[in-house]
Every structure is written in C-alpha cells, then in structure tokens.
Chains A and B, each alone.
Chain A
Amino acid sequence: MIEVKNVTKTYGKKNNTFVALDDVSFTIPDGASVAILGKSGSGKSTLMHAISGLDKPEKGEIIIDGKNILALNQKAIDKFRSKTISFIFQSFFVQANESCYDNVSLPLEISGTAASRRRKRIEDALSAVELLDKKKSRARDLSGGQKQRLAVARAIVSNPRILFADEPTGNLDSATGKVVEDLLFGYNKNNDVTLIIVTHDPDLAKRCDVQIHIKDGKIESIEGNK
C-alpha cells in the first residue's frame, strides 16, 4: 500500500517560490492501476518523482510498505529504487548503442544479481514483450514501439512491486501504443503489481482503476472505476 500524506514540494527560493505540490494526500492499494492526470506543469511529474524517491518534498510522508521513504538515507533509497520499483519513460531512454540483452541486463547488474542468474530472467522479460528474437540487435535498430517494449522488459526484469510509467504512449502511434498499454495492464493484473501511470491521455487513464486529477499542485478529484 502506498500512503501519501500531506506532501508539499516547493521550488525556488524566497520571493520566487513555486508550489509544485500543495498538501497532497491519497492512498493507493497494492496491485491497483492508477492514472495521475493533469496538464503540463500541474505537478503530476513531481508527484511521481516524490513517490519513487527521486525527489524529496520538504513536508509530508510517503509510506510504502510501512516505511516512510522520505526519511530513508540515500543508500536505502537506491536500494528501494533498484529492488521495489521500476520506470518507463515517454522517450524510452533505452541505450541506443547497446544490445537489447544488455539494456535489459542493466537493472539486474545494478541490483547486484549474480551473472549466472541473469540470463534466464532477461530472456523471460524479453519473451514477455516478444523481443527475444531481437536479443542481440542494437536498440537503435528498433522501431519506436519496439523500443518502448524493450523499456517494459527492462522495467519488469527486476520483478518490481510498483511500476511507474511516465507518458508511456506519448511518443507512439495509437496501434503501437495499444500494444504497450496491453503489456503494462497485463503485467499489472497478472503479477499483482501496482501500476502508476502519469499521463494527460484520458483514454489511457480510463483503463486504470483509479484516476487522480491534479491541478496547480493540488488534487482536484480522485475517481475510481470500481
């Protein structure tokens, strides 16, 4: 369960402050799919960064599995990021000049998984996104949709508990976008993994269990499909 309690984040100093998150509170149950909706500059990305431990809001608590991640030291946060969560980005961030295999291998290397145990997991992740035949191809030779599928493989290889997706279909056409969406929701349902999607696409948001609308750093509304 993810509990966000009274989180406030401001940028800038003194007279020039900008409130990105203003006293935000909500709860996400385990295994849910959540869409964080809002216009650009609304604070939705900041919220995702806060929950994933990339950013440190000055006020509030973010409690994941009973631990306030805002109170963790850097080493513990790094460990949390490498073991518990994963990311998918709008612009993929796959390493163009590395093979698909090495791209997917990165999170396992970071978490210190023994080399002997990596192969099976990497190949499983690549099969899950139907890219096993591209194992040795360089990422730059893939199409946009394939790149995002590769990013999904990289995100799921470490068996995360929470999957963050920042505009995962923003750079894709609707057909390939649909494939990636199906992959994400399939993984969410089959593995009971919490999926948090940051988007401004209402159609994508509708597929999620919960929609959190953010405006000017405040929660406008929280809607649930169930």
Chain B
Amino acid sequence: MKLRDITIRAGRSLKHAKARTLLTSLAIGVGAFTIVLSLAVGAGGRQYASNIISSNTNEHALYNVSVKQDGADSSKPKKYTDAQIANYGGYEMVLLKQSDIDKMAKVDGVNSVMPYFTIVPKYVTREGQEKYQASIEPFQSDVKLEYAAGNANGIEGDSVIIPDEYREALGFKNASDAIGQKIQIYIEKGASDPLNPELKAFEYTVVGVNKKPTVAVNGGTTLQLTSDNMKVMNNYNVQGTPAYGTYMSALVMAKDNVSTKTVQTNLDKAGYTSKTAEDLMGFIFQFINVLQAILIGFGALAVLTSVFGIINTQYISVLERTQQIGLMKALGMRRRDVGRLFKFEAAWVGFLGGSIGSISAVISGTIANPIISKSLNLGSVNLIVFEPSSIAIVIVGLVVISVVSGILPARKAAKLNPIEALRTE
C-alpha cells in the first residue's frame, strides 16, 4: 500500500471520529500551547534583555577592569606592597594607577582605556534656579539614547547632555529651549575643610536632552559629559587625598575587529580581571532560561499526559475497528501497512494538536503582547516573540511523540488474526 493512500485513509478515519480526534488533539494542544508560549516568552525575554544590554553597554567594551587579586588568606597578616588599596567593609581592592592604565593600553586588541571616575558633584544648577543633587557619568557614544532635543551623537568640549527631568527642574520650558544654554556643576575641592568645603563651578553647554528611556538603565537620571571633563573634575575633587591618581576600575574598549573575549583573555594574562557586556548581563539570560525551562517543564508534563491519552484512544480505536482491520488483512494488506495506518492516525492527531496549540498560543500571545507592554511600561517592546522555526520544531516533535505513542496500539492492530477479527459480529 502506498504511503499517500495510508495517510489519506488515516486522515479519513479520524474525520469519522471527529469528537474523539478533537479531544485527543486538545490534550496535546495544551502541551503545545504551553511549550510554544514559553519558547516565545523566552525568545522575547532574551530579545528584550539583549536590547537592554545594547542600550546600556557597548559590545566592544570590557567593564570593571581591575587588578587581579590572588585569593590570599585574609586571616593571615599580609606583606606590605606599595599598591594603593581601597577597603570597603572588609573587602580589599587594589586600585589602578596611571601606570596600570598605560599598561592596559598596550595590551593586544585594546583600542582605548578610560578610567572609571567615582566623582559625585555637590550639586547642579543654573542662574536663577534651585540647586539639585545629581550624578554624572562619561558619555558613551554606543549607548542608545532617545533625544527630546539636540543631536549628541558625539559630544566634545565643554558640553553636557541632561535628562528631560533635569531640563524641567532647571527651568527650561521645553527641550529645544535648553539647547545651547549653560549649566553649572559644583565640585568639592579635595582635602578642603569637610565642614566648610571649598566649591568650584564647572560650566557646561547643554547639547542634548534625552528622554526617559524604555530599556536603558543609565542615562535616565544622570548627566553625561566627556571623559576628559570627568577627569578634570575628578582631579579637582581628589587632589591632596590618597585617592589622587588612582582609579577603582577602568573601561577598556576593544578594537573593532577583535572580540571582547579575546581582549578579556589578553587582559587576564596582563594581570587584570574584566567583564564583558555579556558577563555583566548574563544573569538576566540565566533568569530567563530558568523561567523558560520551568514553563517548558509544565508543557512537557501536559504532553506526557496526552501521550497516555493517545495510547488509550488508539487502543479503543483498534478494538472498535477490529472488523475493518480483519477485512483489510483478509484483502491482503500487509502487517506493516496496518501498523502504519494506526501510526499515521496518531501522527495526524499529533499534528492537529500541535497546530491547535501553536495557533492558539500565537493568537493569545498577540493579544497579550500590547497588554503586557502597557502594564509594564515597555513602550513598543514585545515580551512574547514567536519564532516560526521553534513552532515548526514543536509541531514536528509532537508528531514524532504521537507516532511513538501510537506504536503499541498499532502493533496490536497489525497482530490481529483476520479470522478472529472477522468472526466478531
């Protein structure tokens, strides 16, 4: 018997038992629904996470580059070294010096090294306005920001980008009014009297106003300046203190054609630890993957349950159609083909269930997406992303599982003795 004819006959038998077919398929459909949806949530989550990463990090950057420390026993006295050491709540950290920065710059694959400044301004203000606390950070051209006004894709000189909230606080009516205006950032002079600190105003021109970002973590509440200006302010702030000339860590940019992983290895050889953007954001992926695995686990349970459903239904089907099987065998149908007929029926059920589940998953995901995005304030970001390839894999997988569960009933059908079968009235 030809495979095409078996497939058609199998489909027709299912059509004749519509209710049973539908119910069995629905059982698989529940599993397919859960699995497709969790795959889509995983895909969407990962996409969202990599959006966050690319919005907040630079793919060429290595973060938190600092001196590698041996895991020496902290309970024993240590030999003195002339390294600058910062102590935070019992955790010691060897600080970077200019010599370290220079050394890093020479490491293979490194494009530039930017020390990380831990400077906190006293306040930010402008003429005739209130004083506001603020934090500042160096501008990174690769971090995506949405601008309400101004074009700040590369800032230079004494320029500053301010968030929209500060624009309002500093008394600019709208974003474009702020462009070209000057604001002052007050920095405390290093080693000055803590009770009556000496302050100095650093004046910068606003070149951009950025909107509150939907995915970016930074840039939302910080003022951004060039790295050079950061350094000037930092030096003013730490002059005459032990921190002068040292840095907590540095930001290393890899060359365009060199992967950050390679640079990370090279830096490690030079004695510096570092983190790539993926290292930094890896926990997000891990979280998404764990969540996805749990959801898929539920789906797999549903599929497992439906496997018994298929076996049961197919057994009943074999019993019901004993006569038909007997007739087909009497007419010379081969055992293999009788078995195939029932396996193909199971395959159809799997295909139907997979399709029903996938389609309803896509429909409910499409309906849920805007609702989720709205309630989580994600803007136009979709958290549920369906990939046709993964849906196809799920359906094919379910067809295979169904065929496997159809094996036992199919074997029973194939083994039926036609004389016995035809005797059944």
Contact = CB atoms under 8 A, between A and B. Distances in A.
B334 A75 contact: yes
How many chain B residues sit at the interface, stated as a range, is 20 to 34
Interface of B is mostly: helix
Interface string A126-157: 00000000000000000000000000000000
Interface string B229-267: 000000000000000000000000000000000000000
A51 to B, nearest CB: 13
A97 B16 contact: yes
A115 B4 CA distance: 10
Given A78-B332, A81-B331, A82-B331, A110 B12 contact: no
Given A54-B419, A55-B419, A81 B332 contact: yes
A49 interface: yes
B418 interface: yes
Contact of A74 (B5, B335, B337): B335
A115 B1 CA distance: 11
Given A54-B418, A112-B1, A112-B2, A82 B332 contact: yes
Nearest to A166: B422
Contacts of A52: 330
Contacts of A78: 332-335
A95 interface: yes
Nearest to A105: B5
A98 B330 contact: no
5 contacts: A74-B335, A80-B332, A93-B327, A98-B12, A102-B12
Given A54-B419, A109-B1, 15 more contacts: A54-B330, A54-B418, A78-B332, A78-B334, A81-B330, A81-B332, A82-B333, A87-B330, A93-B327, A98-B12, A106-B328, A110-B333, A110-B337, A111-B332, A115-B5
Interface of B: 1-2, 4-5, 9, 12, 16, 323-324, 326-328, 330-335, 337, 418-419, 422, 425
**Which 3 residue pairs spanning A and B have beta carbons closest together?**
A82-B332, A81-B332, A109-B5
Interface of A: 49, 52, 54-55, 74-75, 78-83, 86-87, 89, 91, 93, 95, 97-98, 102, 106-107, 109-112, 115
